[in-house]
Amino acid sequence: MEKKCIGIDIGGTSVKLGLFKISGELLDKWEVPTRKEEGGKHILEDVAASIKSVLKEKNIDLKDVVGAGMGVPGPVMPDGYVEVCVNLGWHNMNPQKELSQMLSGLLVKSGNDANVAALGEMWQGGGKGYTDIVMVTLGTGVGGGVIINEKIIAGRHGLAGEIGHIHVRDEEKEHCNCGGVGCVEQIASATGIAREARRKMAASDVFTEMRKYGDGITAKDVLDEAKSGDCMALEVVEVVGRYLGLMLAQVAMTIDPEIFVIGGGVSKAGQFLIDIVDKYYRHFTPISENKGKIGLAKLGNDAGIYGAARMVLD
């Protein structure tokens, strides 16, 4: 029987789990609620119980499972130690060690969820077939994950892949959540795109379809109107593409990946957005024609379970 592996993606509301063939085929996925009470002490118990029950139901022996990987929404040390994970209430614990004990010593590995999702996209998503990828997640914020030689680069202080906090805009005045000013996250996240649109509308009285959404305008509204040819919406998307392309160029000049994989809610705008980002990315990398390309993520919210499962296959 082909060996299996398990991917666990721990979120603040629910834990996603996936059972995979080691070849990468997803056999089953399911969720359990994240019980955050009492410092999140029940989370791993629930995960272990759920895994045992699913394996039993499917008649899979634990011996046929290579291991379980786990994405954690916060910094994870190389040995699996978690100093603090605000979203889960965890403090000073080693979740991979604890889960392993609950699962009869099964191999358990763990990593930061953004990095783990990047590994998932490399394995079976938009980065499939590549070994060096940078994932860029355009959601409420801008997250990232760096994979080199099929391995997560977590950084020596857990900061690798924090590409949303690369400073790109000198003239910005407002502060980013990180404490900085002018981060790419302030422009290219869903929140940032909506803010750019509000700013542009406030700064002129030119007609734009965007005005019908008022102050509640979303990134999706902006991108939809831009696709429909609204001039001011297009200007907003050009600004977003310019700074995002610049950031990708900066990353390319540092580690030169094979592909940038763009995911997150904003990436649903698809090739339309990629083409604009790519134009600026090329503008800022005249040094060579031969460089990493830009593509779309494919796994959506499943990237985390894919990447977690992939962690135990090295």
**Binding status of residue 246 toward its own copies by CB under 8 A:** yes
Give the nearer residue to its own copies in terms of CB position, either 158 or 265. Answer: 158
CA distance linking residue 69 with residue 311, whole number of Å: 6
Nearest distance in Å: CB 192, its own copies: 16
Q: Is the dihedral of CA 62, 76, 252, 241 positive or negative?
A: positive
Helix axes 95-102, 43-57, angle to 10 degrees: 40
**Binding status of residue 77 toward its own copies by CB under 8 A:** no
**Binding status of residue 15 toward its own copies by CB under 8 A:** no
**Binding status of residue 129 toward its own copies by CB under 8 A:** no
Run of H or E including 82: strand 82-85
Nearest distance in Å: CB 127, its own copies: 12
Residues 284-303, one symbol each (x = binds its own copies by CB under 8 A, - = not), give xxxxx-xxx-----------
Among 13, 92, 173, 179, binds its own copies (CB under 8 A): 179
34 burial type by CB count under 10 A (0-12 exposed, 13-18 middle, 19+ buried):
buried
Residues 88-127, one symbol each (x = binds its own copies by CB under 8 A, - = not), give ----------------------------------------
Residue with tokens 């979120």: 11
Q: 3-state DSSP call for residue 50?
A: helix
Nearest distance in Å: CB 285, its own copies: 8
CA distance linking residue 17 with residue 50, whole number of Å: 9
Q: 3-state DSSP call for residue 107?
A: coil
Give the nearer residue to its own copies in terms of CB position, either 157 or 212. Answer: 157
Nearest distance in Å: CB 180, its own copies: 5
Output phi, psi for 269, to 5 deg.
-65, -15
Q: Which of 133, 163, 160, 152 is nearest to 307 (CA)?
A: 152
Contact 236, 193 (CB under 8 A): yes
Footprint of its own copies on residues 248-287 (CB under 8 A)? 249-258, 284-287
Give the nearer residue to its own copies in terms of CB position, either 147 or 233. Answer: 147
Helix axes 190-202, 231-255, angle to 10 degrees: 140
CA distance linking residue 253 with residue 155, whole number of Å: 18
State both tokens at 163: 């590409």
Q: Which stretch binds its own copies (CB under 8 A): 61-69, 98-106, 155-163, 224-232?
A: 155-163
Q: How many residues bind its own copies (CB under 8 A)?
A: 40
**Binding status of residue 173 toward its own copies by CB under 8 A:** no
**Binding status of residue 152 toward its own copies by CB under 8 A:** no
CA distance linking residue 140 with residue 167, whole number of Å: 18
Q: 3-state DSSP call for residue 135?
A: strand
Give the nearer residue to its own copies in terms of CB position, either 235 or 256. Answer: 256
Nearest distance in Å: CB 245, its own copies: 10
C-alpha 57: how far from chain center: 32
Among 148, 234, 296, 313, binds its own copies (CB under 8 A): 148
**Binding status of residue 229 toward its own copies by CB under 8 A:** no
**Binding status of residue 193 toward its own copies by CB under 8 A:** no
Among 24, 74, 139, 155, binds its own copies (CB under 8 A): 155
Nearest distance in Å: CB 145, its own copies: 11
Q: What pairs with residue 32 in β-bridges?
A: 15
Which spans of this chain sit near its own copies (rule: CB under 8 A)?
132, 146, 148, 153-163, 165-167, 170, 178-180, 246, 249-258, 284-288, 290-292
